[in-house]
Amino acid sequence: MRAVIAERFGGPEVLALAERADPRPGPGELVVRLAAAGVNYKDVYEREGRGPLPAPLVVGCEGAGTVLATGPGVSAIAPGDRVAWWAAPGSYAEQVVVPARAAVPLPADITEEAAAAVLLQGLTAHYLTTSTYRAAAGECALVPAAAGGLGQQLARVLARRGVHVIGTVSTEAKAAVATAAGVRDVLVVPPGGFGDGEQVAARVRELTGGRGVDVVYDGVGRDTFRTGLAALRRRGTFVLVGAASGPVPPFDPQLLAAAGSLFLTRPTLVDHATEPAELAERAGEVFAWLRDGTLSAEPGGRYPLARAAAAHADLEGRRTTGKLLLVPSA
């Protein structure tokens, strides 16, 4: 089979397509023929060496496809079943070993590409808006990078709930995408334009009558952290869910007190969708959101496995909107 391998850590150029032996499932595992793999910033972190896996490694964690074989102890899933997953290392490959407990069986009306496009961000949007901070109708939320894969899905869920969503994007073209996803007020902030964040935060406060937002869902990290804190209302909640621009620098927790007794949390999907029953429940609601139009599975781009480096470069260069997919052929 063919797989995308990073022989060493570095930029997108370290990704290359190579031949590897077909895998065999171990106890509690599946081997799945890939239909589509999702491209995520988690994959970028792995490629750069910020993840737990040593190089060389097959990149990727999310995808969907058809089960080819099952290992000992697997009874609920059989060859021929269609499944999706969000936590299987080495997913940029024509055949992927997936832990059976992490596999989500696909309903007949959900395609493999739709599942690969929506599962990870959909699950993330679900736990962020139901378990981390359940923003309610009449409240206001700030979503940086609102035209990105997670940003769009968050905006859709929040807007459907009646939340006033303010989003930041880097271009006018992305502003249109964010608006279509349900963002009421879109702020165009060119790359590197956040600076100390005071002007952006001041504009957010204008849009909220001087009060500030109730919650910030931030997947950007370093570039937007100070802006988000300054945009919050007293006793508001900052949800840090990623670091697309780099990790947040160390800071004195007294800053949270001085800014209005703020709450700061850094949740992960691992702690919200690892147990099979919880994963199944959340995935079922994500698929329901997909059916009723709350979420969108329209990919922002499709690339063959051989062009994984281009997909990473486009993602990091902020040249895309929505979720990127890798497919065995395109």
Q: What is this structure's pTM?
A: 0.93
pLDDT of residue 196: 59
Please indicate whether the domains covering 2-111+297-327 and 123-269 agree at the CATH topology level: no
Average pLDDT of span 315-328: 89
Average pLDDT of 258-263? 96
CA nearest neighbour of 39 among 282, 320, 286, 243: 320
216-249 confidence digits (pLDDT tens): 999 999 999 999 999 999 999 999 998 888 899 9
SS3 content of the chain, % helix, strand, coil (to 5): 35, 25, 40
Taking Cα atoms as reference points, which of 218, 224, 223, 244 lies closest to residue 42?
244
- Residue 175: is its pLDDT beyond 70? yes
Mean pLDDT, rounded, for 124-141: 97
Please state, rounded to an integer, the average pLDDT across all residues of the chain.
95
pLDDT tens per residue, range 8-51: 999 999 999 999 999 999 999 999 999 999 999 899 999 999 88
C-alpha 85/C-alpha 65 separation (Å) is 9
Instruction: Give phi and psi for 11, each to the nearest 5.
Output: -80, -175
277-304 pLDDT tens trace: 999 999 999 999 999 999 999 898 999 9
**Tally of residues, the chain:** 330
Domain 123-269 = CATH 3.40.50.720: yes
Q: Residue 262: what pLDDT?
A: 98
What are residue 322's phi and psi, to 5 degrees? 75, -170
Provide the pLDDT for residue 50: 87
Determine the CATH number of domain 2-111+297-327: 3.90.180.10
Q: Are the CB atoms for 234 and 208 separated by under 8 Å?
A: no
Domain ranges of the chain: 2-111+297-327, 123-269
